Amino acid sequence: MNKKNILFLGFMLFSLFFGAGNLIFPPFLGMESGDFFIPAMIGFILTAVFMPFLAVMSVSLSNNGLLAIGQRVHPVFGLIFTIVIYLSIGALYGIPRASSVAYELGFVQAFQVDNRLSLFLFTVVFFGLTYILSINPKKMINRIGQILTPALLVVLAVLFVKAFTTLNYTGKPTAEKFQSSPFLAGFLEGYYTMDAIAALAFGIVIINGLKLTGVGKKKDLIRGTALAGIIAAVGLTIVYLSLGWIGRVLPMDTPVENGAEILVLASKGLFGYGGSLLFGTIVTLACLTTCVGLINACASFFSQTFSKISYKKFVLIFVVTGLLITNLGLNTILAIATPLLVFVYPFAIVLIILSIFQHFIGESKKMYVLSISVTSVFAVYDVLQFFNIDVPIIDTVLGVFPLFENGLGWVVPTLVVAIIGYLWDDSQGKILHKEATIAS
């Protein structure tokens, strides 16, 4: 494997993960956690960095990516789950959300212009660039890995260095949730970045990138994915710590509602009007690279699944769809997509964890079926809660499980039934060990 290609793939993976959602979470966590910054940030990094890394690895360990992972439950579930994942993080949510955030936190902050016409013109330019970068997967690696990611890192470095040499921590009030359990609060903040879902799509982007550079053997694909994942994880950890630290030390005279406002204040306070342009550049680059990765992943999957339509045509379809949905406005996008994400996220985490462990202990059909069955109960409950539909008896039954109040009630029962399913299959000699050894 070419070390230079691995480095560029690592940079590309970093850029794909480092979208606008990731940009705004750490500063707010840093502000709210106060004296409990370290345990809170450790929890955040576990779910915002380590879990997505595991997701990328789970895809590389599977023979057919995300589709194969879902088919371990049932072929129909595998196909439907995969389509829902790609649509939820792609055309219906991830792509228009990233472009909307680029407009609202990048363009508007920098140029102080916000109307229907400016949004439309911005999206035409933004998605035009996205199309150019996405249309050729092989060139995409070079364009993102060699150009966009270094540019993004340079802009971030300017902000970080200025902040580190100018600001000092003087103490801040700590939000209640961080006072009682800073690690768990940080863990949940990382959970809500939804990067574990995105990683299931980005994993295939890295694998395809390795194949395009001449890597063919499965063990080399797994090793290359792991190395690229480590590069991305290290970069994300450094950037998240820096962003969180800025939120922790930045003096604020007025209340803020999110991390974006903190970064706007930091940019303006440290650089004046030039800071607005700096912040706009950071957000736009972050969102652009995320959109390119999502479109590449979605177009690759759908062109392989529905082979009558080419990759380039699917790129065009997703670009046009993203442009149209973006012009509905960010609030509308969030209202449409949030219930879908709330539903699929627990499934994604369960399948990621089981796929990683399967590599070492073998595949158990019942382990997958029972785990997903139990997870589905909690997922449906979470969607009902989102729409303010209360069923008292369900609240009573599910409320007995640990972490239920934190939105993680599915964790313990899913773990228990996974063990039961595995032992059940093991007692009947139905454990498959076809992936216990990496095939060459």
357 occurs within a structural domain:
yes
28 and 99 in a common domain? yes
Q: Which of 40, 97, 24, 102 is nearest to 263 (CA)?
A: 24
Q: Which two tokens stand for residue 173?
A: 């009030």
354 and 259 in a common domain? no
| Domain boundaries, position 218 | 3-327
288 and 434 in a common domain? no
Query: Exposure of 306 by Cβ count < 10 A (0-12 exposed, 13-18 middle, 19+ buried)?
Result: exposed
Picking from 294, 327, 360, the residue at the C-terminal end of a domain is 327
Q: Which of the residues in the chain have pLDDT under 50? A: 435-440
What is the residue whose two structure tokens read 């939804």?
Answer: 194
Query: Exposure of 65 by Cβ count < 10 A (0-12 exposed, 13-18 middle, 19+ buried)?
Result: buried
> Residue ranges of the alpha helices (H) in 135-217?
137-142, 149-166, 176-180, 182-191, 195-212
293 and 402 in a common domain? no
Q: What integer pLDDT is reported at residue 244 of this predicted model?
A: 93
b/e code 140-175 from CB counts within 10 Å (16+ = b)? bbebbbeebbeebbebbebbbebbeeebeeeebebb
Q: How many whole angstroms separate alpha carbon 205 and alpha carbon 195? A: 15
139 and 162 in a common domain? yes
Q: What integer pLDDT is reported at residue 438 of this predicted model?
A: 40
Q: What integer pLDDT is reported at residue 423 of this predicted model?
A: 95
260 and 370 in a common domain? no
Structural domains of the chain, count: 2
335 occurs within a structural domain:
no
91 occurs within a structural domain:
yes
247 and 220 in a common domain? yes
Q: Which of 405, 347, 348 is nearest to 375 (CA)?
A: 347
332 occurs within a structural domain:
no
Q: What integer pLDDT is reported at residue 196 of this predicted model?
A: 80
Question: Which residues neighbour 114 within 8 Å (Cβ) at sequence distance 6 or greater?
Answer: 104, 108
Task: CATH number of the domain at 302, please.
Answer: 1.10.4160.10
Three-state secondary structure call for residue 128: helix
State how far Cα 71 lies from the chain centre. 22
> Residue ranges of the alpha helices (H) in 61-107?
65-71, 75-89, 94-101
Beta bridge partners of 432: 363
Q: What integer pLDDT is reported at residue 440 of this predicted model?
A: 35
336 occurs within a structural domain:
no
Q: Which of 314, 381, 305 is nearest to 71 (CA)?
A: 305
pTM of the model as a whole: 0.79
389 and 266 in a common domain? no
Q: Which two tokens stand for residue 187?
A: 């863990």
401 and 317 in a common domain? no
Phi/psi for 363 (5° steps) reads -95, 130
